[in-house]
Amino acid sequence: MTHTHCPYCSLQCGMRLERRGRAALEVQAWPEFPVNEGALCRKGWTAAGLRGSRERLTSPLVRDRASGELRAASWDEALDLVAARLTALRRQHGPDSVAVFGGGGLTNEKAFQLGKLARVALGTSQIDYNGRWCMSSAGSAANQAFGIDRGLPFPLADVEGTDVLVLVGSNLAETMPPAARHLDRLRERGGRVVVVDPRRTATAERADTFLQPVPGTDLALALGLLHLVVAGGGVDEEYVAARTTGFDVVRRTVAAWWPERVERVTGVPASELRALADLLVGAATVTVLTARGAEQHAQGTDTVLAWINLALALGMPGRESAGYGCLTGQGNGQGGREHGQKADQLPGYRMIDDPAAREHVARVWGVPADSLPGAGRSAYELLDSLGTDDGARALLVFGSNIVVSAPNATHVTRRLEALDLLVVADLVMSETAAMADVVLPVTQWAEETGTMTNLEGRVVLRERAVAPPDGVWSDLEVMAGLASRLGSPVAFPTDAEEVFAELGRASAGGRADYAGITYDRIREEHGVFWPCPSAEHPGTPRLFAESFATPDGRARCVPVEHRGPAEAPCDDYPVHLTTGRVLAQYQSGAQTRRIRDLPDDGPFVELHPMLADRIGAHDGDLVVVATRRGELKAPARVVPTIRPDTVFVPFHWVGANRLTNDALDPSSRMPEFKVCAAAVRT
């Protein structure tokens, strides 16, 4: 019996794996693990299904130059070939001719090692990862406001104690169902749940108050609420004076956002806005949680800052059962952004342009600080530059299915085609692996050990339960094999616990300090919350009780203005397109679409009966959604729960992201996945 965690989302539900026969696994509940108390969603219960998949890759594949087909190769042949071609490219075009792309599902150890591979073995600045597309706007806002980016600065269960919980752009009842029990318990003890979403989702059905704004207007909604809080004398002046800076400017900024103006922009009736402001002002404790619906916008950072300003005005962050948090999406969305996969960061959430941070990490790695490259391009910008005069000519991909998950995906696919060399490490032949020159088959969750950091900042341990199939290597072994062939000046350990100890030393003294966390402690304590700077330190479940992580200890209120989405509807593209997830699938679907027991109905287009009438579509008819970047044909799902001016497409299949907009948030570089102008027709 092995105690471990689900392979998918950021809740990182605890589960037990029981061996059945030689290699089969059975998922069982782990009731003692506090985050999910034994509950799992459908994806978790069926997680062992991928192990039996015939589609599992078990041999490296190399594209044959003559036939253009992929053929089986030995590990030596595949890695020798990759290393030789990377070395030639670096010699001819410099180190930045090689780029690395990681994922928010990689363990902390892999994310750390991938950053080291890029900066030490390859010497390239060109590394980023798909987590840039997940929670980076919330991260950017939290860094600005609080001086630290930990998605939830408190355990998730704390929301049960809040009087009013405001969920902005989160459908947690479908994306992480075990978390929805906190909403039920909150309501049982008399608390209120507020959901803000353009769709009346399963989460909205559990709410007391539901606001349905036009996609891309959550920022204006927050400004309008703060306007009413200020006008109604609801600001906690004592808290604002003692614990924040900059509120006076914010107070002036929101003065122009009277409710009728907000109604015109958001479509939310002024009466509903007033009722919600009254509810917030009258509550002893308020918790605001944002997720991708609010964050994946060209104004995502400002949108989150507007909701943080509201929480600060009410005096909530740092108070018990109150505050602001972000519900991270990917399994290691939190840890994946802390240990060096990001273009501008070094392990421990250190910034790569900070001389002291460079010195510290270089010392741990055993290389001179001036050998480390500087900041590279953000995820979309990196992909957009591939194969151009200025961009990389080779790309190594670990834990990401770019062809499905990148915005403006047709364009990104063309950039991948323009590469001299594409190398993909994956479990299965994902859409991105199918394009690669070299495919490297790697272990999956139950076959390897490593840590993840869940949405609460709790570091948990996934334990190996079964040996991998013959022919499969761990990502750590692949990175070590490449590093030695590239002539790395330092060692790349392949034992996850050894890598974690190095990560701990590299993170020591950084914002995300893991120095005091060990595998044994995680096992004994059901996870350890960072920062945890020493073996004696208990970890930090709750942040901000005394002060914020800014130089003066105060939260910063940052004035923001609503500009609206990068694309407004027009005559040719008159409706809003928004995208999201469904219960039975996860991210690009590379894993969940291959699990027999999970329904795979393919993409669909959700639209309101009024819109369906207008275009002459009935439920189940094939309809076409078109944007300036592409088209998608899929069956209509006619539902009264979506705004009549909006269509929704899930993004787990090829197609949805051919439609989405690559406009970037100026601070986080998050693409505007969540809204663009579209046309829909039969």
CB of 169 to ligand SF4, least distance (A): 18
Instruction: Name which position in 3, 16, 43, 554 contacts ligand SF4 (CB under 6 A).
Output: 43
Q: At what angle do helices 136-146 and 300-313 cross, to 10 degrees?
A: 40
Show the binding pattern over residues 165-204: x = contacts ligand SF4 (CB under 6 A), - = does not: -----------xxx--------------------------
In whole angstroms, give the CA distance from residue 145 to residue 169: 20
Site membership for ligand SF4, residue 50 (CB under 6 A): no
The smaller minimum CB distance to ligand SF4, of residues 176 and 440, is found at 176
Contacting residue, 12, 97, 303, 657, with ligand SF4 by CB under 6 A: 12
Q: Is the peptide bond before 531 cis (omega within 30 degrees of 0)?
A: yes
Is residue 416 a contact point for ligand SF4 (CB under 6 A)? Answer: no
Sequence-distant (≥ 6) Cβ neighbours of residue 597 within 8 angstroms? 46, 49
Residue selected from 17, 25, 27, 40 as contacting ligand SF4 according to rule CB under 6 A: 40
User: Is 115 one of the binding residues for ligand SF4 (CB under 6 A)?
Assistant: no
User: At its nearest, how many Å lie between ligand SF4 and the CB of residue 528?
Assistant: 18
Of 10 and 97, the one with the shorter C-beta distance to ligand SF4 is 10
Centre a 10 Å sphere on the Cβ of residue 312 and count the other Cβ atoms it contains: 30
Residue 678's contacts (CB-CB under 8 Å, 6 or more residues apart) are 573, 575, 576, 577, 625, 626, 627, 647, 659
Cα dihedral 346/517/452/457 (nearest 10): -80
Q: How far is the CB of 456 from ligand SF4 (least distance, A)?
A: 12
3-state secondary structure of 311: helix
Shortest reach from residue 155's CB to ligand SF4, in Å: 16
Q: Closer to ligand SF4 at the Cβ: 44 or 325?
A: 44
Shortest Å distance, C-beta 175 to ligand SF4: 7
Check binding of 267 to ligand SF4 (CB under 6 A). no
Count Cα atoms within 13 angstroms, Cβ side, for 517: 35
Q: To the nearest whole angstrom, how small is the minimum distance from the Cβ of residue 11 to ligand SF4?
A: 4
Residue nearest ligand SF4 by beta-carbon distance:
44
Residue 117 or 428 with smaller CB distance to ligand SF4: 428
Closest approach of ligand SF4 to the CB of residue 40, in Å: 4
Nearer to ligand SF4, 329 or 340 (CB): 329
Report the length, in residues, of the chain.
Answer: 682
Near ligand SF4 by CB under 6 A, which window of 3-11, 368-376, 405-413, 422-430? 3-11
Q: Does 582 bind ligand SF4 (CB under 6 A)?
A: no
Residue 13 in contact with ligand SF4, rule: CB under 6 A = yes
569 binds ligand SF4 (CB under 6 A): no
Q: Is 145 among the residues that bind ligand SF4 (CB under 6 A)?
A: no
Report how many residues bind ligand SF4 under the rule CB under 6 A.
Answer: 14
CA distances to 412, 445, 663 from 417, rounded to whole Å, are 9, 30, 22
- Residue from 3, 4, 9, 584 that binds ligand SF4 (CB under 6 A)? 9
Please state the closest distance from residue 669 (CB atom) to ligand SF4, in A. 26
Any bridge partners for residue 63, and if so which?
70
Separation of alpha carbons 630 and 573, rounded Å: 12
Q: How many CA atoms lie within 13 A of 602 on its CB side?
A: 8
| Residue number, 35 or 679, with CB nearest to ligand SF4 | 35
State whether the Cα torsion 54-56-62-67 is positive or negative.
Answer: positive
By CB under 6 A, name the one of 3, 11, 397, 578 that touches ligand SF4. 11
**Under the criterion CB under 6 A, does residue 334 sit at the interface with ligand SF4?**
no
Amino acid at 116: K
Per CB under 6 A, the list member of 17, 25, 27, 41 interacting with ligand SF4 is: 41
6 is an interface residue for ligand SF4 by CB under 6 A: yes
- Helices 218-231 & 259-266 angle (0-180, nearest 10): 170
| Vertex 419: Cα angle to 416 and 425 (nearest 5) | 65
Taking the complex as a whole, the smallest distance from the CB of residue 38 to ligand SF4 amounts, in Å, to 11
The pairing of strands 286-290 and 164-168 is: parallel
316 counts as binding ligand SF4 under rule CB under 6 A? no
Residue 121 CA to residue 649 CA, distance in Å, equals 41
- Helix (H/G/I), strand (E/B), else coil: 520: helix
Which residue number, 13 or 164, has a Cβ lying nearer to ligand SF4? 13
Q: Six-digit token pair at 675?
A: 């809204």
30 lies in the binding site for ligand SF4 (CB under 6 A)? no
Q: Is 152 in the site for ligand SF4 (CB under 6 A)?
A: no
Q: Is there a contact between 582 and 174 (Cβ–Cβ < 8 Å)?
A: yes
Compute CA 671 distance to the chain's CA centroid, rounded to the nearest angstrom: 12
Part in contact with ligand SF4 (CB under 6 A); list of ranges 41-49, 73-81, 232-240, 292-300: 41-49
Question: What gap in Å lies between CA 486 and CA 80, rounded to an integer?
Answer: 9
What's the closest the beta carbon of residue 129 comes to ligand SF4, in angstroms?
A: 20
Give the interface segment with ligand SF4, choosing from 5-13, 468-476, 477-485, 486-494 (CB under 6 A).
5-13
Q: Are 543 and 615 in contact (CB under 8 A)?
A: no
Smaller CB separation from ligand SF4, 182 or 415: 182
User: Which residue stretch of 38-46, 161-169, 194-202, 604-612 sits at the interface with ligand SF4 (rule: CB under 6 A)?
Assistant: 38-46
Among 17, 44, 357, 462, binds ligand SF4 (CB under 6 A): 44
CA distance 564 to 677: 12
| Cα–Cα distance, 353 to 179 (Å, whole number) | 38
DSSP state at residue 546: S
Work out how close the CB of 329 gets to ligand SF4 at its nearest, in angstroms, rounded to a whole number: 10
User: Which residues make Cβ contacts (< 8 Å) with residue 506, sequence separation at least 6?
Assistant: 112, 339, 346, 347, 348, 360, 361, 364, 365
- Parallel, antiparallel or unpaired: strands 209-211 and 192-196: parallel
Nearest approach, Cβ of residue 230 and ligand SF4 (Å): 38
DSSP state of 239: H
Which residues have CB under 8 Å from 614's CB, separation 6+?
Answer: none
Note whether 556 and 142 are within 8 A (CB). no
Site membership for ligand SF4, residue 651 (CB under 6 A):
no
Residue 615 has which token pair?
């275009």
| Shortest separation between residue 336's beta carbon and ligand SF4, angstroms | 15
Closer CB to ligand SF4, 40 or 611, in the complex:
40
Say if residues 587 and 129 touch (Cβ distance below 8 Å).
no
Listed ranges 35-43, 152-160, 345-353, 372-380: which one lies at the site for ligand SF4 (CB under 6 A):
35-43
Minimum gap (Å) between residue 176 Cβ and ligand SF4: 4
Residues that bind ligand SF4 (CB under 6 A): 6, 8-9, 11-13, 36, 40-41, 43-44, 176-178
